Structure 1
Amino acid sequence: MINLALRFAPLSPADEVAIEKLDERAFGPGRFARTAYRLREGVPPDLSLSFVARVGTLLVGANRMTPILVGASPALLLGPLTVEPAFRSQGVGEALMKKSLDAARAAGHSLALLVGDEEYYARVGFKRAPRGKVIMPGPVDPDRLLYCELREGAFENISGKMRRV
């Protein structure tokens, strides 16, 4: 039997084509119309905070962290978090998020936000943002706007519209 160990590595520009194909399979062409995608448009992810997961040479998961602003305050937008369907429910997504959040903490970042399912993302410390405190530019279900403090109290004084840096 062959042992196919899961390896994690920082995302590199060479990974972009494989990640794009993975995102296309997972989210389809409608992903570009989503508010979070539009917010990231034209802003490269921070490669030191973004990771990929591989089994051998096969890319099976990816997570990006993109710098944004909330009002005048810097923050990070986590996502898209994508895992190959055959590898879902095996901890790949959670491990990718933990790597990104740990790297962001170590680099001195204070806050990460995302749009997603609170039940899933709460496992790594995300909470629902109070309605009206943070506003995304475009349609988004406010119950899916989540935040994670990377430094205690970081969300306290945050308010305003999310925008590109």
Structure 2
Amino acid sequence: MNFIIRQEQENDYESTEKVIKIAFVSAEQSDQDEHNLVSRIRKSDVFIPELSLVAVDEDKNEILGHILLSKVLIGNDDNKKVRSLALAPVSVLPDYQNKGIGKSLIKRALEKAKELGFKSIIVLGHPEYYPKFGFKKASLWQIKAPFEVPEEALMAIELQEGSLDNVSGVIEYPSVFFE
């Protein structure tokens, strides 16, 4: 199977949202609202079009997967806020999972975020999966979620070595994450 990773276009939105909905239909940790989250993020000021990527089957011209990185802040008690990105969500159609599509989407998103000058990314996800890409427990930097989550599920990655060295505090997700 041949697929390419490219930036999502506006005319992809409907197909992308269907992919996201199908990908999360049987996910244990899902509220079945990820497709609406993506839609809300796209309409907000935390959306970065270059960091909304799709995997497309070259033969069928069909979207097989999607990843989105959007802006968040990490704040501490001194009111010092640091820009970061949240990886949420990454989705692949069930029939195409475990074929390298998710891996390719994540790798390309990390590369693109680095190219755009971002220094770190936060993810709330499977603790067995994301460390393959360099993610580590966010607690290593005293970074916390604004809600209760298992420590091992909240992870971060430095896109620039040492970029999280003096960063700590609570992740400030934009309001679109909670609507």
TM-score over 0.5 for the alignment? yes
How far is 1:132 from its partner? 8.3
Where in structure 2 are the equivalents of 1:127-142 lying within 5 Å? 127-130=136-139, 133-142=142-151
Q: Which moved more, 1:47-56 or 1:144-153?
A: 47-56
Q: Amino acid of the residue matched to residue 30 of structure 1?
A: D
Gaps of 5+ in 1: none
Cα distance change on mapping 1:126 and 1:93 into 2, 3 Å: same
Following the alignment from structure 2 to structure 1, what is the Cα–Cα distance between the partners of residues 90 and 3? Answer: 17
Matched, 1:25 2:37: no
Report the number of matched residues.
158
Following the alignment from structure 1 to structure 2, what is the Cα–Cα distance between the partners of residues 124 and 14? Answer: 30
Where in structure 2 are the equivalents of 1:1-165 lying within 5 Å? 4-28=1-25, 30-32=31-33, 43=44, 44-55=46-57, 56-71=60-75, 72-130=81-139, 133-164=142-173
Following the alignment from structure 1 to structure 2, what is the Cα–Cα distance between the partners of residues 145 and 90? Answer: 25
Q: TM-score, normalised by structure 2?
A: 0.79
Give the ranges of 4+ consecutive aligned residues of structure 1 lying more than 6 Å apart after TM superposition. Answer: none
Following the alignment from structure 2 to structure 1, what is the Cα–Cα distance between the partners of residues 153 and 97? Answer: 21
Following the alignment from structure 2 to structure 1, what is the Cα–Cα distance between the partners of residues 82 and 93? Answer: 34
How far is 1:26 from its partner? 2.0
How far is 1:99 from its partner? 0.6
Matched residue SS, 2:160? coil
Give percent identity, aligned residues only. Answer: 27
Following the alignment from structure 1 to structure 2, what is the Cα–Cα distance between the partners of residues 126 and 13? Answer: 30
Contact 1:131 1:142 in 2 (8 A): no
Contact 1:61 1:81 in 2 (8 A): yes
Q: Deviations over 1:43-90 (max 9, x none)?
A: 453111221001132110000010110110000001200001111111
Q: Deviations over 1:103-155 (max 9, x none)?
A: 11111110001011122111211111117822222232222001011000112
Contact 1:136 1:161 in 2 (8 A): yes
Q: TM-score, normalised by structure 1?
A: 0.85
